[in-house]
Amino acid sequence: TRRGLAEELAALEGAQYGRYKSLVGRWALPDGCTLELVRGQADPYAPPARIAVHMPAELAGFPRELWETATRRRALASYLARGADRAVRGEKALRVDAGGQEVLDRSSCSVDGRDGSVTLRLGAALPGHGRRIDGREAQRLLTRVLPDAAGRALRYGALDAEAVRRFVHTVEDSVALRDALPGLGLVGFVADGAVLPRRSGVDDRPARDSGVVPFASPPELRVTVELPHAGTVTGMGVPEGVNLVVGGGFHGKSTLLRALETGIWDHVPDDGRERVVSRSETVKLRAEDGRRVERVDVHAFVDHLPDGSDTADFSTENASGSTSQAASLCEAVEAGAKVLLIDEDTAATNLMIRDARMQALVAKDREPLTPLVDSIRSLHRDHGVSTVLVMGGSGDYLEIADRVLMMDAYRPSDVTKRAREIASVPTGRRAEAESFPGVVPRVPLPASLDAEVRGRPRIRARGEDVLSFGDHEVDLRAVEQISDPRQVTGIGLALELAVRRGHLDGERTLAAGLDLLEEELTTGALLSVRDEDFAVPRRFEVASALNRVRGLRMRRG
Ligand code: ADP
Ligand code: MG
């Protein structure tokens, strides 16, 4: 029988740092857990080693009801990762990726659906005296601190059972609420009492000052839903169709839209948005001048460019605000979006509106842009794509909106009737398009999506904004529904997986490839990547990243 981990570490005291690698493998700990050194650390300045702690089911002791569905396992694992993070907080060498306000599938913690055993994965900066192994400190860290933290954070008996249950039930209610939306003809729901504003632009926790106005639904849009745990919940249902949010500046329009944006994810208890949900096929759009576009049919919005380029098969290395937003819209629909969110604060005005006076001054044949106001009805009617637009600055949408919601001092009211009356007085504006023609499917060419640098995949995230993917630097600043820096790594891994598994094989359309990838995102291959912290993205974030790879080549399908 081989020596235990503690003895091995003691024996390595003072050895060359690289010898840590000789410990890669599984080690039984006295308390019944298994510690696995998944990946060693080459030198003290290299990325931390990767360690997994396996807590067997009989030790973990979680009742089956807490882990019998995938949703409950995700919630439980998220709760456990947060506790583990707190348990090792004092130890600078240990890093648990616990996540923020969203409850995502992530690699740091998982609960096994067969028996309820728990695996925690974390980074550990292995201790050294310079380039020599500090065996004594490593022994303390790996055979005492870590098992002790696991014992406190990953066992049911050591936890506040009520808090665990509340966390799991909150997530399950959120999923139930989201799943109920299509049957209710809704694209989103905001519960009465929800707290939408955040503490600051860089702090996603709920605002807590006394001026916070809890959400209160207008009677016309009030919907009642039965949830498995919370019971009867009322709130505002956002219906399918074209929804317009109006109101004065600073009255809470963007805050409401942002809550819907992040309603694709589940939130932790007391976030304030636990019962704010949107359909999982919801995509936020914005203008993004400078982005690249590869062979998108944008002619519904852009035509007769002065340089004569073909906008039905449009490519550019440097899109304008309006063409970037038009391309992003078409790409979102191509990827399967059913709900589009647009905020005037980040939209290209000339793609949104062109009023009667401007129509009179600039003839249509001198204006390449056809504003969204003329195809937005068709998007819903002919393509089943709903919209929620924040638009406080132009009344042209009043005529075509199915619903107009006014935010007034953070309180919404339904002003649809009044908007109709106002819109019944003609402005003289003429529609410039009959319908949205749909998107032309594209086939990504996998050779242009190479993740490898010198024979090895290179996938790195720089915050929430940049993904290094092979030789490519993908700018994700405009992909606003990424909710966690680790999701950027998840996007890179998903993209690499889609190519490696042949989902994007140069024959299949992007949409078909995403269908195949989607299955792997939560249940399959992606979560088996074990040596890296990442969180699972949606197909839409993966598609958005792909569309922003500078060297990407597409074929028209
Ligand atoms: P708008 O888009 O209408 O200009 P914002 O949504 O940007 O307005 O909100 C303006 C400010 O009001 C922000 O600082 C936001 O945090 C705050 N705010 C939004 N909703 C609420 C609310 N329900 N209670 C208190 N403050 C809020
Ligand atoms: Mg705003």
Number of Cβ atoms within 10 Å of the Cβ of 219 = 8
On whether both 68 and 38 belong to a single domain, the answer is yes
Number of Cβ atoms within 10 Å of the Cβ of 21 = 14
Domain of residue 502, residue span: 442-556
pLDDT for position 557: 82
Which ligand is located closest to the Cα atom of residue 408?
1
The reply to whether 385 falls in a domain is yes
> Strands (DSSP E) along 427-541, which ranges?
442-444, 452-453, 456-457, 459-462, 466-469, 472-475
On whether both 296 and 405 belong to a single domain, the answer is yes
CA distance 422 to 420: 5
On whether both 146 and 108 belong to a single domain, the answer is yes
The finding on whether 197 has its CB within 6 A of some atom of ligand 1 is yes
Q: Are the C-beta atoms of 290 and 333 separated by less than 8 Å?
A: no
Q: Any idea which residue has 């994965």 for tokens? A: 121
On whether both 404 and 335 belong to a single domain, the answer is yes
The reply to whether 525 falls in a domain is yes
C-alpha dihedral sign at 52, 65, 87, 159: negative
Residue nearest to atom 27 of ligand 1 (CA): 197
Q: Which of 423, 450, 465 is the last residue of a domain?
A: 423
Give which of 556, 547, 550, 555 is closest to 329, Cα–Cα. Answer: 547
On whether both 388 and 477 belong to a single domain, the answer is no
The residues, ordered by sequence, that sit 6+ positions from 406 with a Cβ below 8 Å of its Cβ are 245, 246, 247, 412, 413, 414, 415
The finding on whether 410 has its CB within 6 A of some atom of ligand 1 is yes
Q: Are the C-beta atoms of 263 and 175 separated by less than 8 Å?
A: no
The finding on whether 444 has its CB within 6 A of some atom of ligand 1 is no
Mutate to test the pocket of ligand 1, among 250, 262, 276, 388 (most ligand atoms within 8 A of CB): 250
The reply to whether 221 falls in a domain is no
3-state secondary structure of 53: strand
DSSP letter for 128, please.
E
- Dihedral (C-alpha) 350, 355, 361, 364: value to the nearest 10 degrees? 70
Q: Which of 109, 126, 159 is the last residue of a domain?
A: 159
Mutate to test the pocket of ligand 1, among 196, 210, 255 (most ligand atoms within 8 A of CB): 255
Per-residue model confidence as pLDDT tens for the chain (557 residues): 468 999 999 999 999 999 999 999 999 998 999 999 999 999 999 999 999 999 999 999 999 999 999 999 999 999 999 999 999 999 999 999 999 999 999 999 999 999 999 999 999 999 999 999 999 999 999 999 999 999 999 999 999 999 999 999 999 999 999 999 999 999 999 999 999 999 999 999 999 988 999 999 999 999 999 999 999 999 999 999 999 999 999 999 999 999 999 999 999 999 999 999 999 999 999 999 999 999 999 999 999 888 888 999 999 999 999 999 999 999 999 999 999 999 999 999 999 999 999 999 999 889 999 999 999 999 999 999 999 999 988 999 999 999 999 999 999 999 999 999 999 999 999 999 999 999 999 999 999 999 999 999 999 999 999 999 999 999 999 999 999 999 999 999 999 999 999 999 999 999 999 999 998 997 778 877 778 999 999 999 999 999 999 999 999 98
Pairing of the two strands 403-408 and 411-414: antiparallel
pLDDT for position 2: 67
Ligand 1 atom at minimal distance to the Cα of residue 392: 3
On whether both 57 and 91 belong to a single domain, the answer is yes
On whether both 470 and 348 belong to a single domain, the answer is no
On whether both 408 and 545 belong to a single domain, the answer is no
To the nearest 10 degrees (0 to 180), the angle between helices 539-547 and 510-522 is 130
On whether both 390 and 447 belong to a single domain, the answer is no
pLDDT for position 526: 85
Task: Domain count for the chain, please give it.
Answer: 3
Run of H or E including 127: none
The reply to whether 401 falls in a domain is yes
On whether both 397 and 495 belong to a single domain, the answer is no
Q: Which of 396, 423, 450 is the last residue of a domain?
A: 423
Ligand 1 atom at minimal distance to the Cα of residue 255: 6
The finding on whether 249 has its CB within 6 A of some atom of ligand 1 is yes
Assign residue 14 a region (left: φ > 0; alpha: ψ between -120 and 50; beta: otherwise): left
The reply to whether 224 falls in a domain is no
Q: Are the C-beta atoms of 506 and 555 separated by less than 8 Å?
A: yes
Residue nearest to atom 5 of ligand 1 (CA): 252
Q: Any idea which residue has 């509106």 for tokens? A: 353
CA distance 280 to 262: 10
Residues with a beta carbon under 5 angstroms from ion ligand 2 = 254, 345
On whether both 113 and 77 belong to a single domain, the answer is yes
SS (H, E, C) 78-90: HHHHHHHHHHCCC
Decide if the complex's ipTM is over 0.90. yes
What are the distances in angstroms from CA 200 to CA 196, 204, 441?
A: 12, 7, 40
Q: Are the C-beta atoms of 1 and 139 separated by less than 8 Å?
A: no
The reply to whether 166 falls in a domain is no
The reply to whether 406 falls in a domain is yes
On whether both 341 and 486 belong to a single domain, the answer is no
The reply to whether 77 falls in a domain is yes
> Bridge partners of 314?
296
